[in-house]
Amino acid sequence: MNVTKLEEQLGIRFKNHELIQQAFTHSSYVNEHQKEKILDNERLEFLGDAVLELGISEYLYKNNVDMAEGEMTKLRASIVCEPSLANFARDLNFNEFIMLGKGEEHTGGRDRASLLADVFESFLGALYIEQGFNAVLTFFERFIYPKIDMGAFSHAMDYKSQLQELIQQDKNRGIEYKIAQEKGPSHMKEFVVQVLIENRTAGTGIGRTKKEAEQRAAKHAIDELSK
């Protein structure tokens, strides 16, 4: 594994290259290289899971002062779930650094969501051991928290229903969602959606799907109405 290349990609310098290499070592590789006496990443994954949950929980708690406990739980679950962690790993090109056994490699393990999610957690565990929790938070600030702020996980929160409940307090007010714009090529299309209350624009949202854009528009409207 090329730890130097990983350092360049992340902008992080590691003192213990063996620990970082362990974070990317799958058990299938260890089984095929038993004479090398190397360790797999399963114990680091256990630790990283806890570090991840704490880091996300702290951020949601501090930055969503009006969000109820149940809503924070739902949002956190959508961030730390396997598909999300696998996407984080893909965005950071972690798949190219994973050390796999030949069998696992041939069956597509390098892009398997469960394996990528495990590697992401084990990396967090290694980073925590080597540089502490503040280093993990700095990593989150660069690569994870901005995605939360951009609404990448807003689908977990049913903002359309919340807006509907808010507006239904006045039964004479109607809600309508309208596609204002479609941007980009077909494989990278983005939708701009406006939510109208009494024919007036109350919020705008952008998303890769119409549903995602509608949720973000509803969230924007809720934020505006709460001011």
Separation of alpha carbons 94 and 116, rounded Å: 8
Strands, sheet with 175-183, edge to edge from the N-terminal-most edge strand: 175-183, 190-197, 200-207
Separation of alpha carbons 32 and 143, rounded Å: 33
Separation of alpha carbons 210 and 15, rounded Å: 46
Q: What is the DSSP letter of 64?
A: -
- 149 given a catalytic annotation: no
* Catalytic entry in 45, 118, 121, 214: 121
- 32 given a catalytic annotation: no
Q: What is the DSSP letter of 157?
A: S
The number of CA neighbours under 13 Å toward the Cβ of 182 is 8
Query: Looking at the chain, how many residues does it have?
Result: 227
Judged by DSSP in three states, 39 sits in coil
* Catalytic entry in 40, 49, 212, 214: 49
Separation of alpha carbons 56 and 99, rounded Å: 28
Q: Write the CB contacts of 200 (distance below 8 Å, at least 6 apart in sequence).
A: none
Residue positions annotated with a catalytic role: 49, 121
